Amino acid sequence: MQPGVPAGDVVFVLHATPHESFERSGNDLLTHVTITLSEALLGFSRIILKHLDGRGIKLSSPPNKIIKPHDTIVLRGEGMPTYKRPDSKGDLYVVFDIEMPTSDWLNTIDAKVNFYYWCHRQTSFSSLFFLGLGGYPPYKTVGC
């Protein structure tokens, strides 16, 4: 400060660099997590991501729910701290991406087991329909 000169303000300009895993909107965070197709269909319970503070966030999928691409789960209180209220935090939005099998995946499974599974899975209605019920002639699928 100099004598006779009015005091001025100090202005800081901050530029936030994008984070590789999280996007921020106010006090809320958004992240994308990739799960396998089997996890999307059958469920999961595991640590799905590493939070900004280094903690692992464990999440279990809702029971009896198939997760579709871009489904979102909100984790309350897992976002950024609220300004001047350190006991309050925003939310963490977890958006799911589903990892689909590649075309080479079929080469890694036993084709006979896969055929048997799908053949017997579809026989509940089709076997009644094609076995001559309702005046239809008996019918048998080749190979099943």
User: What domain range includes position 33?
Assistant: 22-100
Judge if 129 and 68 occupy the same domain: no
Under a CB-based contact definition with an 8 Å cutoff, are residues 78 and 24 in contact?
A: no
Pick the closest to residue 32 from 101, 90, 98, 76 (CA basis). Answer: 98
The 10s digit of each residue's pLDDT in 102-112 is: 878 777 766 66
The residues, ordered by sequence, that sit 6+ positions from 74 with a Cβ below 8 Å of its Cβ are 91, 92, 93, 94
The 10s digit of each residue's pLDDT in 20-74 is: 999 999 999 999 999 999 899 999 999 999 999 999 999 999 888 999 999 999 9
What is the model's pTM?
A: 0.66
Q: What does the mean pLDDT of the chain come to? A: 81
Judge if 54 and 121 occupy the same domain: no
The pLDDT score that the predictor gives to residue 5 is 82
| 45 vs 42: CA distance, rounded Å | 11
Q: What is the CATH number of the domain that holds 75?
A: 2.60.260.20
Could you tell me which residue, 5 or 30, shows the higher pLDDT?
30
Is the pLDDT at 114 greater than 70, yes or no? no
